[in-house]
Structure 1
Amino acid sequence: MKNILLFGAGKSATVLIDYLLANAPRQKWHITVADSDLMLIKSKIGKSYYATPAAIDIRDQATRQQLVQQTDLVISLLPPALHITIAKDCLQFSKHLLTASYIDPDIRKLQKDIQKAGVLFMYEMGLDPGIDHMSSMKLIHSIEKKGGQIYSYKSYCGGLISPESNDNPWQYKISWNPRNIVLAGTSGAVYREKGKTKEVAYEQLFDQSKTVQVPGLGKLAYYPNRDSLSYVDVYHLGDIPTFMRATLRYPDFCEGWNALVKLGLTEDTQKHPTDQVTYFKWASQNIKVDKQLSNEENVAQFLGVSPKSKIIRQLKFLGILNGEMINLGEQTNASVLQHVLEERLKMGPTDKDMIVMLHEIEFERRNIATRLHSYMIVQGEDNLRTAMAKTVGLPLGIMAKLVLSGAVTLTGLHIPVLPEVYNPVLKELEEYDIRFEESFE
């Protein structure tokens, strides 16, 4: 019997838990799901003979380490800042670790120790990062094998609402960690275009009405992700002239979010009192309010839009132009905004989300320039078994199976860019209708 320990039973864990339980009898697994919310765990594992709930406080070192000691492989779906705690436990007790989060500087410092311990720490094993790496590397290796010279790589991914559930002025509903949504893009972006390095500050990130066409969906807006250039060497693309990774949204979302940034409502460093403070007072904290004008007119004037514009409609939809009291104690603007979004942009019981990923790769072979489009659209089933939960959870589950069955024997700190990882994972993902369509121009 092999033991798997999963930390975190939140939004992204549902389909992963389903997968682990479905495979448990045949693979001879037992799964322990650890989270602070016992009822949440029980709602995900049901009465399965192959699963045990563990309600723990992640700061309780003795209990946490006891769980790690007793397992063969750990999967962490905790918030990114907590991964290092789990990673150090896994290192101490020589356990494999899988997570969907980015490799960060803290884990980089442990790289030699991980290799020395002879265990596998597979990071970035979700959707984006994750499926984007695997599908990109498969394309890149295939082009290079045939003698193609790649000169432009652009990759886009977005967690969106499915067209039939797209019924609010933001054209968006929350299908993953709401805090990550609020803070997305705060560090700005760096990418390369036609040989020039471009740096975009956070304040300008959503200001660009850049769009791409996605078959069957039409025009989607995008904004560049973080530091795209940190992946150029990982993908072995050297001094490629154009390299960009970006996030996809419906165009209306980017316009509305740009307004929230201008109003200063995504700021996360300073705490403000919110008791007996109205949402409008909070939303207009950086505006010189004219008492002669309505709330809508004051905000519209500051943003340089009409009071009847779509952007004002979006802000009214969030309820932040009214006189209701916030009453959340001391909070940063980002925390208040997160509270608002969780309430106003939550998915209803029958809502469906959608994941869209698109790669555009331009290359030359035998003096012929070719553009390759490769895209994937995944639909969610409902507000629990979302497309987001599928695309984040299934790669982790499949990877756990490959490691515990001995099909993958890698050790050290990795992300999924090697053929022995991406080939079997992408192949099994197709069984769950997670597949790419390709076309050439």
Structure 2
Amino acid sequence: MKSILLFGAGKSATCLIDYLLANAPRQKWHITVVDNDLMLIKSKIGKSYYATPAAIDINDEPVRQSLIQEADLVISLLPPALHIVIARDCLKFSRNLLTASYIDPEIRKLEKEIEKAGLLFMYEMGLDPGIDHMSAMKLIHSIEKKGGQIYSFKSYCGGLISPESNDNPWCYKISWNSRNIVLAGTSGATYREKGKVKEIEYQQLFDQSKTVQVPGLGKLAYYPNRDSLNYVDIYALSNIPTFMRATLRYTEFTEGWNALVKLGLTDDTKKQQTNNMPYFKWASQHIKVNKELTNEENIAQFLGVSSKSKLIRQLKYLGILNGELINLGEQTNAGVLQHVLDVRLKMEPSDKDMIVMLHEIEFERRHMGTKLHSYMIVQGEDNLRTAMAKTVGLPLGIMAKLVLSGQVELKGLHIPVMPEIYNPVLRELEEHDIRFEESFE
């Protein structure tokens, strides 16, 4: 019986664990799920004969390495900074590794060693990054095979709340790691538009009124995602005038988040003592408070809006304009904000989330210009089996099956942009109602 070792039992792991357990009898594999929270692991694996919980401290090297030595395949859903720890162990003990996280400079340093060892380390095998790469490359290869010349590529993806569960002024609820939400965009963004490289600083990133039309949903806001140009060579589109990858949100979210950025509440660089600190004092730390004005009026004046505006209603909803004490010990602003989001924007048991992905590709074929729209909308079932958990977890599960059944001969450090990976993965995702619709202009 083959052994799969999964690190991480959090929000994104639920549907991956379901998939691995459902396939275990036929595939003849056993899953060991590692987390520091035993009850969390047990809540995900139930009493399955095919799964074993392992509640460990990830920094306990002997225990961690003994688990990796016993595995045939390792999957990591740990926070991104910890993947390198697992990767080094996998390299040491010759184990293949799958993860949904971005390739980073640390793992790049091991690229030659991974290839020399004959191992497969497949990164960016989730949703975004993951399904975005696979679906985009399938479209790109299809267009080019038919003689099309691509001159504009735009790809958008967002984890949103489903319309029936959209009941707060932020039009957002937490369906994945809240720390990643708080820190999203902090490195700014780079992309190419009409032949010019655009660089946007974090402070201006959410100050964009840019929207895109999604069939069945109407207009959604977007902001450019990280350094899009990292992918132009990988997609073999290095010379096209327009290339951008972006994140989708409802417009209310980007407007509200822009205010949090202006207030300095997403900063993760300096810690301060929050015990006995009122939320309003924290929220107003970068502004000159006029004691003759209300808390709402002070913040509104700084942001240049009315104290009765939607923006102030959003901040009041988070509970950060009152005198309640924070009492979280030493925290960065980002740490306090993460706590606020976890409390105020949490998904209730009956809530459903939604994943939206859209590719817009413009190309010329036989001297005729064409615009291709390819979009995917996935609905979650509840606050556990979310659309986010499905779209992050299932590609990893399918990839695990391909590797362990010997259907993948690929070696080295990769992301899923090749036909031998994206064709079978996208085909099986359709069996789980994760599919794209296409239209042309």
Report the TM-score, using the length of structure 1 for normalisation: 1.00
User: Which residue number corresponds to residue 95 of structure 1?
Assistant: 95
Per the alignment, in what secondary structure is the counterpart of residue 154 of structure 2?
A: strand
1:95-123 CA-partner distances (Å, limit 9, x unpaired)? 00000000000000000100011110000
Q: How many residues align?
A: 441
Distance 1:225 1:427 in 2: 27
SS at structure 2 position matched to 1:16: helix
What percent of counterpart residues are identical? Answer: 84
Q: In structure 2, how many angstroms separate the alpha carbons of the residues matched to 1:302 and 1:53?
A: 51
Is residue 205 of structure 2 the alignment partner of residue 205 of structure 1? yes
Q: How does 1:14-53 map to 2 (within 5 A)?
A: 14-53=14-53
- Aligned AA for 2:414? H
Aligned to 2:194: 194
Gaps of 5+ in 2: none
Distance, in Å, in 1 between the alignment partners of 2:4 and 2:162 is 33
> Which residue pairs with 2:365 in the alignment?
365
* Amino acid corresponding to residue 355 of structure 1 in structure 2: I
**Matched residues in 1 for 2:392 and 2:66: separation?**
27
RMSD (Å), alpha carbons: 0.3
Shift of 1:74: 0.2
Distance in 1, Cα, partners of 2:120 & 2:341: 37
Q: Which amino acid aligns with 2:307?
A: P
Tell me, yes or no, if structure 1 residue 295 matches structure 2 residue 290.
Answer: no
The CA distance in 2 between the partners of 1:125 and 1:25, in whole Å, is 24
Once residues 275 and 287 of structure 1 are traced to their aligned partners in structure 2, the CA distance between those partners, rounded to angstroms, is 21
> Is structure 2 residue 218 aligned with structure 1 residue 218?
yes
Structure 1 gaps of 5+ residues are: none
Name the structure 1 match of 2:401.
401
**Match for residue 241 of structure 2?**
241
Aligned-partner residue type, residue 285 of structure 1: Q
Deviations 1:116-154 (A, max 9, x none): 111100000000000000000000000000000000000
**1:273: how far off?**
1.0
The answer to whether 1:123 aligns with 2:136 is no
Helix, strand or coil at the partner of 1:57: coil
- What residue number does 1:56 align with? 56
Alignment partner, residue 264 of structure 2 = 264
C-alpha distance in structure 1 between counterparts of 2:182 and 2:390, whole Å: 22
State the match for 1:374 in structure 2. 374
> Helix, strand or coil: the match of 1:276?
coil
Output the CA distance in 1 between the equivalents of 2:316 and 2:206.
20
Q: Distance in 2 between matches of 1:291 and 1:34?
A: 52
Query: Equivalent residue for 2:228?
Result: 228
Q: SS of the residue aligned with 2:424?
A: helix
Determine helix, strand or coil for the equivalent of 1:168. coil
Which letter does structure 2 place at the counterpart of 1:320? I
**What residue is the counterpart of 2:350 in the other structure?**
350
Q: Distance in 2 between matches of 1:187 and 1:111?
A: 24
2:134 is aligned to 134
AA at the equivalent of 2:236: H
Letter in 1 for 2:95: K
* Residues in 2 aligned to 1:165 and 1:278: alpha-carbon distance in whole angstroms: 31
Partner residue, 2:385: 385
The aligned residue for residue 425 of structure 1 is 425
* Distance apart, 1:409 and its partner CA: 1.3
Residue correspondence of structure 1 range 276-295 to structure 2 within 5 A: 276-295=276-295
Deviating above 4 A after TM superposition, structure 1's stretches of 4 or more consecutive aligned residues are none
- Alignment partner of 1:105 is 2:105: yes
Q: TM-score, normalised by structure 2?
A: 1.00
Whole-angstrom distance in 1 between the partners of 2:294 and 2:269: 30
Counterparts of 2:249 and 2:436, CA distance in 1:
19
1:56-75 matched pairs, under 5 angstroms: 56-75=56-75
Secondary structure in 2 aligned to 1:234?
coil
**Following the alignment from structure 1 to structure 2, what is the Cα–Cα distance between the partners of residues 95 and 224?**
35
Cα distance in 1 for residues equivalent to 2:119 and 2:198: 38
Q: Take 1:85 and 1:286, find their aligned partners in 2: how far apart are those partners? A: 38
Q: Which amino acid aligns with 1:154?
A: K
Q: How does 1:428-439 map to 2 (within 5 A)?
A: 428-439=428-439
